[in-house]
Amino acid sequence: MKAFNKIYLLGILTILTPLSPYGADNPLLFGLEEKWKPILEQFNQINSLESSFREKRYRPFKRIPTTLNGTLRIHPQAGISFLYTDPSFFLLHFHQGKLFRKKEDSDLEALDYPEVTTTMNWLSQIFAWNTDWLKDHVTASGEFKPDSNEWHLSLKPIVEAPASIDKIILYGSQVKLKEIHIFTAPRKRIEIKLRESTTNPNFSDNDIESFFPAFDQ
Partner 1 sequence: MKFRYWIFSILLLISIGLSLHLFQTRPLETNVMELIPEGKNNPEVSLARKLVSSHQSKINYVVLSSPNSSITPKAVSTFASTLKENPSIASVYSPSDSVFLKDIGEELVQLRFSWMLPKWLNSHFPNWKEHPPDSDTLANKVVEELNTFLESPESFMWDELIPRDPFLLIPRQALDARSFIAPKHPQNQVFWIEQSPSPLEAKGQEPVFTAFNMALQNAKKHDPDLQLSFTGVGKFAHASEQNIRSEVTRLNLLAIIFVLFILIAWIRDIRILFKLSFVLLLSLFSAFSLTFIIFPNLHILSLVMGSLLIGVAVDYGLHRFLHFDTDNKFILWRPLLISACSSAGGFALLMLSPLPVVNQLGCFVAIGLITALIGASLLPPNSQNNGPPQKPRIHPFNFIPIPVALSITIALCLGTYFLSWQDNIKDLDYPVPELQNEHESVLSHFNQNLTSNPVLVIGESLVDTRKHLETILQELKNKSQVWSPAQFIPQFNEASKAHDLFKERPDFVPALKRELATSEYSVEAFDPFFNDYNEYSDATMNRDLFEQQIRSFAQSLPSFLQSMISTDNPIWMMAFVPENFKSASHEFIYPLAEVENLNRSFSQYRKDSGKIAVIAGITIVLLLPVVFQGRKGMISAFLLSINVLATLGTLSFVFHDLGLFHLIGILLGFCLCLDYLLFAVESTSNHRSLPVSVLVSMVTTAGVFGLLITSAIPAVQALGSSVVIMLLICLLLLITSFQNILTKKKPIFPGHG
Residues that bind partner 1 (CB under 8 A): 57, 59-64, 66, 68, 84, 87-88, 90, 92, 96-99, 101, 110-116, 119, 184-185, 188
Q: How far is the CB of 41 from partner 1 (least distance, A)?
A: 29
With contact defined as beta carbons under 8 Å apart, do 47 and 185 qualify?
no
Residue 93 one-letter amino acid: H
User: Which of 27/87 has CB closer to partner 1?
Assistant: 87
Dist CA 168 CA 160 (whole Å): 13
User: Which of 17/69 has CB closer to partner 1?
Assistant: 69
User: Which of 3/214 has CB closer to partner 1?
Assistant: 214
Q: How far is the CB of 106 from partner 1 (least distance, A)?
A: 12
Q: How far is the CB of 133 from partner 1 (least distance, A)?
A: 12
Nearest 5°: CA angle at 71, between 82 and 143? 90
Q: How far is the CB of 200 from partner 1 (least distance, A)?
A: 27
Nearest 5°: CA angle at 149, between 201 and 156? 75
Dist CA 154 CA 149 (whole Å): 17
User: Which of 5/184 has CB closer to partner 1?
Assistant: 184
CA 78 to the chain's CA centroid: 15
With contact defined as beta carbons under 8 Å apart, do 195 and 32 qualify?
no
